[in-house]
């Protein structure tokens, strides 16, 4: 039984490797007559904050929408209720709609944990990254006042999360999970990090692993990192272990030295949540999930179902989705619009004319979106 299970997992990864080998180049948005943006609210506070981000995007892209160069499609039913009903991380009808889009703006989704009333279905985020092969999770963190300007490239489709729902309870005393690393998956995330550094004028790329202990999978990641680094002689390459890197991010003497960091899946998830605290917490941070055919943009925080239960979802902070919208605009080539939105968000955060508290003591997410759009007009 256990051997057959392991053989099945190995076969899954071999199939992935063959698919990666056969992939072509990245999609060119300039070659598209119309860019289709799918808006998938998710569950919990997701629909509330995603709707406000869509309003702002429609405002800033109004000319492109009128010209027929950009359109928005609403994708429903990626809720925990529907996912539990059909027993899938992404229901087939939802996945079909997602694949009709070029880029996706996605709200948070609930992932069941042990003890929850929901069945043990895979994370919708993890499933979407695998189904659409969104191999790069890109998370920027910028705090100009503290000279922090980091960009994290987290591998999205391998590591401990790749088969996180396919572990085994051997008996009441032993439980086993699996982690997988492939040469192809590692090469493409590391190369993307170096390419980003080259294109943006950054001069340092840092790998973060635990290769001194996790010697096989993390060892492959680190070996591949230094092989690819040779192709970029003008960029400094170094590596740190995940435990000490979490300390160095709070070391005021060293943290400003870091620029681009590339990490396996689990470490990237942990370190980017820590990093987001420097710019105001995970509620302020957006992220991009990039593949060669599709791209998805989202908040890095969870779905906060308690806020919905307490009727507070209208007070949820849309900043994370708005930051993700900046990355979406950049990705499809609307660089000037992305810059304007980023400046507006920075100005709103600095002025604090409206403050989100998550309760009726602060502004609603709709009020805050209006504030951002008014600021955009003032910056025009």
Residues 71-91: tens digit of each pLDDT: 999 999 999 999 999 999 999
Q: Check whether residue 228 and residue 323 sit in a common domain.
A: no
Banded model confidence at residue 324, pLDDT cuts 50, 70, 90: very high
Q: Is residue 324 part of a domain?
A: yes
Q: Is residue 246 part of a domain?
A: yes
| Residue 106 φ then ψ, to 5° | -120, 130
Q: Check whether residue 195 and residue 258 sit in a common domain.
A: yes
What the block records as the tokens of 69 is 């160069």
Q: Check whether residue 33 and residue 123 sit in a common domain.
A: yes
> For 199-207, what is the mean pLDDT?
95
CATH at 96: 3.40.718.10
Report how many domains make up the chain: 2
Residues 143-166: tens digit of each pLDDT: 888 999 999 999 988 988 777 778
Q: Is the pLDDT of residue 228 over 90?
A: yes
Q: Check whether residue 113 and residue 209 sit in a common domain.
A: no
Banded model confidence at residue 182, pLDDT cuts 50, 70, 90: very high
Q: Check whether residue 195 and residue 272 sit in a common domain.
A: yes
Separation CA 374–CA 364 (nearest Å): 15
Are 239 and 206 spatial neighbours (Cβ–Cβ below 8 Å)?
Answer: yes
Q: For CA atoms 146, 336, 292, 107, give the dihedral sign.
A: positive
Q: Is residue 13 part of a domain?
A: no
CATH at 179: 3.40.50
Q: In this structure, are strands 204-209 and 35-40 parallel, antiparallel, or unpaired?
A: unpaired
Instruction: Select from 279, 321, 349 the least CA-distant residue to 56.
Output: 321
Q: Where is the domain boundary, 250, 277, 304?
A: 277
Share of the chain residues as helix, strand and coil, in percent rounded to the nearest 5: 45, 15, 35
> For 226-253, what is the mean pLDDT?
97
Other C-beta atoms within 10 Å of 170: how many? Answer: 11
Q: What is the pTM of this model?
A: 0.83
For residue 353, CA distances in Å to 284, 297, 337, 343, 372 come to 17, 27, 23, 15, 11
Q: Check whether residue 224 and residue 313 sit in a common domain.
A: no
Q: Check whether residue 332 and residue 367 sit in a common domain.
A: yes
Separation CA 191–CA 136 (nearest Å): 11
Q: Where is the domain boundary, 277, 305, 334?
A: 277
Angle at 37 between CA 31 and CA 41, to 5 degrees: 160
Q: Is residue 15 part of a domain?
A: no
Q: Check whether residue 32 and residue 79 sit in a common domain.
A: yes
Q: Check whether residue 307 and residue 261 sit in a common domain.
A: no
**Mean pLDDT, all residues of the chain:** 92
For residue 257, CA distances in Å to 240, 275, 296 come to 13, 14, 29
Q: Check whether residue 298 and residue 270 sit in a common domain.
A: no
Are 50 and 41 spatial neighbours (Cβ–Cβ below 8 Å)?
Answer: yes
For residue 218, CA distances in Å to 186, 210, 284, 339, 357 come to 10, 6, 30, 36, 40
SS3 36: strand
Q: Is the pLDDT of residue 234 over 70?
A: yes
Q: Where is the domain boundary, 277, 300, 335?
A: 277
Residues 325-362: tens digit of each pLDDT: 999 998 998 989 999 999 999 899 889 899 999 999 99
Q: Is residue 379 part of a domain?
A: yes
Q: Is the pLDDT of residue 283 over 70?
A: no
Q: Is residue 11 part of a domain?
A: no
Q: Is residue 201 part of a domain?
A: yes
Q: What is the CA radius of gyration of the chain?
A: 21
Separation CA 149–CA 147 (nearest Å): 6
Banded model confidence at residue 218, pLDDT cuts 50, 70, 90: very high
Query: Which residue segment(s) compose the domain that 107 sits in?
Result: 25-134+291-380
Banded model confidence at residue 169, pLDDT cuts 50, 70, 90: confident
């Amino acid at each position: 039984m256990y051997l057959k299970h392991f053989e099945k997992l190995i076969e899954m990864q071999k199939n992935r490797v063959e698919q990666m080998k056969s992939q072509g180049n990245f999609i060119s948005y300039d070659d598209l007559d119309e860019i289709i943006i799918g808006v998938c609210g998710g569950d919990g506070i997701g629909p509330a904050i995603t709707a406000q981000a869509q309003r702002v995007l429609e405002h800033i892209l109004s000319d492109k929408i009128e010209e027929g160069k950009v359109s928005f499609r609403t994708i429903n039913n990626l809720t925990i209720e529907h996912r539990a009903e059909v027993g899938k991380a992404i229901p087939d009808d939802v996945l079909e709609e997602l694949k009709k889009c070029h880029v996706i703006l996605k709200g948070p989704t609930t992932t069941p944990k042990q003890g929850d009333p929901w069945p043990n279905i895979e994370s919708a985020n993890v499933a979407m990254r695998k189904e659409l092969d969104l191999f790069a999770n890109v998370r920027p963190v910028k705090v100009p006042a503290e000279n922090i300007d980091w960009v994290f490239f987290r591998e999205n489709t391998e590591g401990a999360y790749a088969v996180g729902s396919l572990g085994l309870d051997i008996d009441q005393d032993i439980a086993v999970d699996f982690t997988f690393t492939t040469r192809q998956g590692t090469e493409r995330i590391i190369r993307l990090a170096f390419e980003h550094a080259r294109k943006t004028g950054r001069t340092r790329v840092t790998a973060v692993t635990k290769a001194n202990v996790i010697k096989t999978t993390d060892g492959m990641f680190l070996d591949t990192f230094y092989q690819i680094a040779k192709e970029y002689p003008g960029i400094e390459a170094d590596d740190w272990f995940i435990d000490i890197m979490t300390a160095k991010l709070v070391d005021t003497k060293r943290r400003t030295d870091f620029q681009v960091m590339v990490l396996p899946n689990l470490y990237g998830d942990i370190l980017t949540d820590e990093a987001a605290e420097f710019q105001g917490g995970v509620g302020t941070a957006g992220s991009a999930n990039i593949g060669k055919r599709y791209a998805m943009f989202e908040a890095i925080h969870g779905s906060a179902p308690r806020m919905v239960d307490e009727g507070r979802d209208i007070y949820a902070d849309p900043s994370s989705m708005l930051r993700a919208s900046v990355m979406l605009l950049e990705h499809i080539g609307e660089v000037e619009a992305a810059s304007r939105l980023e400046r507006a968000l920075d100005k709103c955060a600095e002025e604090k004319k409206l403050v989100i508290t998550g309760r009726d003591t602060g502004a609603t997410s709709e009020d805050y979106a209006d504030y951002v759009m008014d600021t955009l007009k003032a910056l025009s």
